Chain A
C-alpha cells in the first residue's frame, strides 16, 4: 500500500473510515514510520483546530421547551430595527416621522379576511385591562425575553413599546401616489412565506393596500352607527376618508400625517364577553393567522378594538396608538 493521504488520515481520526479502510490504513501505519509521524501530526492538528473552534463558542444556555417554539416569533427581526428606529428618533429628533419603515411596513392589514378571527387578544401594554399573567401564558417566550430585558429597557422610551409583547400590524398605508401606480392584484403567499415575513412583504403590502383602497367610503354618521360609538383617530390629524369593510363590521379611518403619509386606524365593535372568552381560550389559529397576530399593533378603546397601521416604525405607531381618541 502506498502512503496514506491527509484526507484518509483525517477520516481515520474522525472515525469515518469503513472497517475495511481502517484495517488497511492501520496495517500500513504499522510498518511505515513516516506515515506514523504524519498521523500524529494530523492528530495534533485535529485537536488544535477543535480547540480553536471551542474558543469561538457562545455561552451555552438551556434550550427553551420545544412547545414554546410553536408560535413563530418576530422578536429577533424587530429588535435591531426598532433599536435603530428609536435611536434615529432620539438622535435626529424628528419625532414620529422617522424610523424603520422597511420593518414597520412588513405585514398587511388584510383585515377583511381575518375580521372573524381578529378578536384574539393582541393588546399592547397600553391596555390596563389585560391581565399580566395572560401575557406569560400566551407568549411564554416573549414574556421571558421581556423579563430578561426589563433592566436594559426600563428607562428608555423604547421600553414603553415592549415590541416583543405587542403585536404589530402596519404598512398598509402608503402614499396615495404610490398606491395608485402599483398594481393591486393579490398574489398568493407561498407557504414558506408564512413564517418568513420578509420575502412576502411586498405581496403583503399589496394586499393591505387592496383592502384599503377598495373599501367603500362612508360618512361619519354611518360609521358611528356601525361602531355604536364615535370612531377614533389621532387628534389633530386631518381625516382623509372613513371607510367600511365590505362585510360592514370594520371601520377604517384614514388620516394624513403629511402629504405622503397616511395612517390607517382600523376599528371594530367588540362584545365584552367575546373579549373575555377569547382571552380565556385563544382559538387554534393557523400559522398565517398567528403571523398576522404577531404583526399588529392593537388595543381596546372602550368597546372598540383598534388597530393602527402606517409606514412608520413600530415605536411611532405605538405612540400614535396611545393617543387615539374619539373624533367628532
Chain B
C-alpha cells in the first residue's frame, strides 16, 4: 500500500468515522463505511486521498441513509420498537437525549452549512472545505459562522421545547 495512504489512514480514520457518524447516526455503521472508503482508496489510489475519502464517504452515507429509510419502513411493519430506554442507566439516557438533540439541531441547518461544519469538525482546512463543497474559500468563514449560530440556536430551542414538554 502506498505509504502516504497509510499516513492518511492514521491521521484521518477517526475524523472520517466521526464525520460519518453524524450522517448515519450509528457508530458501527460509521466505522464500516469509513473502512469501506479506505478499502476503496486502496484500489483507486486517489491523488488527494483525504479529500477523496470524504467525498466517497459522504456519498456512501447518503446512499446508506436512503437505504436505511427504506428498511425502517419495512421494519416498522414487522415489529414495534424495543423499549430500550427504560433499561438504560440515567446518564446514558441523558447522553442519548443530548445526542438526539444535536442531531435534530444539525438537521435544521442547510445541507451546505451542515457539510461545511462537519468537514471543519473533521479537521479539514478552509481550503479543503472549499474544494469539497464548491464554496469560495472566502465564503467559508461566513458559512461556518452561520452554521455554528444556527446549530446553537436550534439546540437551545430544542432543549427548551423539551423542558416545556416534560414540565
Contact = CB atoms under 8 A, between A and B. Distances in A.
27 contacts: A7-B142, A8-B141, A10-B142, A11-B140, A46-B148, A53-B151, A55-B95, A55-B101, A56-B22, A56-B103, A57-B18, A58-B27, A58-B30, A66-B6, A66-B9, A66-B38, A72-B39, A73-B36, A73-B39, A75-B32, A76-B32, A76-B33, A80-B71, A84-B78, A194-B43, A195-B36, A287-B43
A273 interface: no
A223 interface: no
Contact of A10 (B1, B63, B148): B148
B141 to A, nearest CB: 3
Nearest to B95: A55
A64 B13 CA distance: 10
Given A73-B35, A76-B33, A195-B43, 12 more contacts: A9-B145, A14-B144, A49-B117, A56-B21, A58-B21, A63-B13, A70-B39, A76-B29, A84-B74, A87-B79, A88-B78, A195-B40
A14 B142 CA distance: 12
Interface residues of A, number: 47
B160 interface: no
A217 B77 CA distance: 43
B42 interface: yes
A221 interface: no
Contacts of A48: 148, 152
Greatest chain B CB density within 10 A among A14, A67, A198, A287 is at: A14
A58 B145 contact: no
B71 A57 contact: no
A50 B118 CA distance: 10
B98 A14 contact: no
